[in-house]
Chain A
Amino acid sequence: MKSPRIAAVGSIKTVNALLIYLSSIAIVLMLVSILVSVIFRYVLSDPIPWANDFARISLSICIFSALAPALQHGAHVGLELAFDRLPKMINHGIKIVAWIATVVIICVWFYHSFLRMTAALEGSYSLPGLYLQVPSVPLYLFQTLCLLVFAMTALLLPWMKDSSEDTETSLQGA
């Protein structure tokens, strides 16, 4: 029998791997819908109205599903100072405080997203700012679930570091 923590780390890693696929699909769909709209416009001179709205919804899916995997793989950049010179105990303490802070901050975001979703559930209105009449609940639900995975990833992060693959992505900033 695996310990609950190992099982949790395993499942979050699986979920994040799936989220990377989902986010990739969203990017490809975004790419294709924009290309198709360019082709329709210039080749068939018959522009398509839904391309914009479709790309925007894909974008939202792409962003939210990328949050947790990016955290797991160390893509979110941080300040790197020479902390290694500090005594080991202090350094360890700093890491724990930073970890707790990260988890709490993401939980606050998750909480407000959850409230927004339940409000949408009551009103059952469509997404603002789009011409397509898209109900807001599924998208808000998806965002809230992604933030939950984001929070879980932050919580389990100290136990899911396999840093060999991850260092490269952290330098992609700019």
Chain B
Amino acid sequence: MWLELVVLLGVLAGLLLLRVPVAIAMLGAGIITALTVVPGVRVSHLASIGAHEAMAFIFTVVPLFVLMGEVLRRTTVATDIFIAGERILRRVRGGMLHASIAGCAGFAAVSGSSPVTASTIGSMAIPQMLRNGYPPRLASGAVAAGGTLGILIPPSVGLIVFGVITETSVGDLFVAGIIPGLILTGLFMVTTVLVLPLYSKKKEKVHSATHEDESRSLNAETVPEVSDGEENLPSSARAYVSLLSVLALFGVVIGGIYQGVVTPTESAALGALGALVIAYTVGGVRSFRVVSNALKATVLTSGMFLLLLIAGLFVAYIVTIIGVPRELASFTADLEAPRWAIMIVIGLILIGLGMFLDPMSMIVIMAPVLLPTVVALGYDPVWFGIFFLIAVEIGMISPPVGFNLFVLKRVIPQLKFRDIVSGSAIYLPAFAGAMVLLLIFPEVALFMTGR
């Protein structure tokens, strides 16, 4: 087993260092392992995966949920959620930070992706916060961390990929993500409250947005234009309408799964339809061009996800033949360590890998390897999905490879990368707290699923 595993991981690491795209590197590592050290493995299985497994019905949720997020990020909805949050929280100290976090959580309820959530909220909220004298570090950290909620609060492409690759119910995973997502949102806010005084002592200006001039700065001029410009409703009223429509869409999509009236695939289709309806009614979208751009982006993103899934299934097949998951499960069973200790080790491994690997690659590579061990320890696969995803979220804000960090630097070039990194680090204890909470009280993830 060890020789095969070393070859597989060695080739994978080599190709990744050469900057071959992750999915193609995985295919390459699988092909070379099959041709050299594992005589039982046939490369031809790759063609079978394309022919059979790539037609698995559950895969259809990927493009549909991606389409939903791609349509909504081209509307005014994200801006509106932030404005609504700011109006509600304006008297709270650091209100705009809380509004950013809440805005991320709100947008996460209709978007399946973390970087999309971070960039959509960040591109509008961070300039607002900077203009109001918030420290860049806190402003970017709150959005980078808040943005990671995109793959914990359903819908989530990460949970879909975990479900497909481990054959766990995607519906249950979605439902299980709700409470931990809300808890994490709360922990981000608590963290914000705790660190704010430190920044005030350093004499950095933190306003509470109560003055007239500050609320004026939230008018349509300063908010980056996402729509084609026409504002029929006063922005405050429209903000609340948008917020309500997003909550309604979340209710239909996730509530439908929770109530057992639609399958995940059907809810994804309803979500995409709902996103189009919102776009043309409250979302400020007037031209078909927006939709066709969203479709093009959906094609490219889905092409990326689905290639990763195919590569993941191929590597999972090889890893299974080699016997890694089985050996790992029996190895940990012989350890006689308490199961929470093993889970902490697994969590640390995932966080370590998350520094270098992108979230989807992490899931397709590690989930099938680790799942048998975790199940043998007596944990529920759905619970593990949520635990795994929180570790993945940390990876998205940890250098050197952190998508949320990159995306914020890109949408707001004047931010210093160092500030984004250290700002995000402020929120690391919140993630750790959520993981520990999950370990102590697995019900947090499971009770709504009825598992």
B307 within 8 A of A: yes
A102 CB to closest chain B CB (Å) equals: 5
Interchain CB contact under 8 A, B17 and A79: yes
Interchain CB contact under 8 A, A52 and B57: yes
A9 within 8 A of B: no
Chain B residues whose C-beta falls within 8 Å of the C-beta of A55 in the assembled complex: 57, 60, 265
Chain A residues whose C-beta falls within 8 Å of the C-beta of B119 in the assembled complex: 171
B115 within 8 A of A: yes
Assess A66 versus B358: contact at CB under 8 Å? Given A30-B60, A112-B47: no
Assess A116 versus B19: contact at CB under 8 Å? Given A35-B270, A171-B407, A172-B116: no
Chain A residues whose C-beta falls within 8 Å of the C-beta of B359 in the assembled complex: 173-174
B74 CB to closest chain A CB (Å) equals: 12
Chain B residues whose C-beta falls within 8 Å of the C-beta of A63 in the assembled complex: 54, 59, 302-303, 306-307, 310
Within 8 A of A (CB), among B343-362: 356-361
Chain B residues whose C-beta falls within 8 Å of the C-beta of A108 in the assembled complex: 27, 31, 43, 46
Chain B residues whose C-beta falls within 8 Å of the C-beta of A129 in the assembled complex: 52, 55
B297 within 8 A of A: yes
Chain A residues whose C-beta falls within 8 Å of the C-beta of B48 in the assembled complex: 116
| Residue interface bits A98-121, CB-to-B below 8 A is 1, else 0 | 100110111011001101100000
The residue on A at minimum CB distance from B158 is: A174
A156 within 8 A of B: no
Interchain CB contact under 8 A, A80 and B297: no
B299 CB to closest chain A CB (Å) equals: 4
Query: Which of B177-185, B221-229, B396-404 lies on the face that meets chain A?
Result: B396-404
Assess A174 versus B60: contact at CB under 8 Å? Given A34-B265, A38-B266: no
Chain A residues whose C-beta falls within 8 Å of the C-beta of B44 in the assembled complex: 112, 115-116
Once the chains are docked, how many angstroms separate the CA of A20 from the CA of B304? 13
The residue on A at minimum CB distance from B361 is: A77
Assess A27 versus B302: contact at CB under 8 Å? Given A38-B262, A101-B28: yes
* Given A76-B24, A78-B20: 5 more A-B contacts, CB < 8 Å: A30-B269, A62-B63, A77-B361, A106-B24, A174-B360
Identify whether the interface residues of B are mostly helix, strand, loop, or mixed: helix
Chain B residues whose C-beta falls within 8 Å of the C-beta of A143 in the assembled complex: 50-51
B157 within 8 A of A: yes
Chain A residues whose C-beta falls within 8 Å of the C-beta of B20 in the assembled complex: 78, 98, 101-102, 105
Chain A residues whose C-beta falls within 8 Å of the C-beta of B307 in the assembled complex: 63, 67, 70, 76
Interchain CB contact under 8 A, B303 and A27: no
A82 within 8 A of B: yes
A57 within 8 A of B: yes
The residue on A at minimum CB distance from B356 is: A79
| Residue interface bits B1-44, CB-to-A below 8 A is 1, else 0 | 00000000000000111111111110110010000000000011
Interchain CB contact under 8 A, B19 and A98: yes
A89 within 8 A of B: no
The residue on B at minimum CB distance from A113 is: B47
Give the interface of B toward A (CB within 8 A): 15-25, 27-28, 31, 43-44, 46-48, 50-52, 54-57, 59-60, 63-64, 67, 113-116, 119, 150-151, 157-158, 262, 265-266, 268-270, 272-273, 292, 295-304, 306-307, 310, 356-361, 392, 396, 400-401, 403, 406-407, 410
A31 within 8 A of B: yes
Interchain CB contact under 8 A, B302 and A66: yes
Interchain CB contact under 8 A, A102 and B24: yes
Q: Which of B17, B21, B60, B295 contacts A28 (CB 8 A)?
A: B295
Assess A174 versus B356: contact at CB under 8 Å? Given A35-B269, A63-B54: no
Interchain CB contact under 8 A, B47 and A77: no
Residue with the greatest number of chain A CB neighbours at <10 A, chosen from B47, B356, B403:
B47
Interchain CB contact under 8 A, B47 and A116: yes
Q: Which of A57, A76, A95 contacts B23 (CB 8 A)?
A: A76
Chain A residues whose C-beta falls within 8 Å of the C-beta of B67 in the assembled complex: 27, 31
Within 8 A of B (CB), among A14-43: 20, 23-24, 27-28, 30-31, 34-35, 37-38
Interchain CB contact under 8 A, B19 and A77: no
Once the chains are docked, how many angstroms separate the CA of A60 from the CA of B54? 6
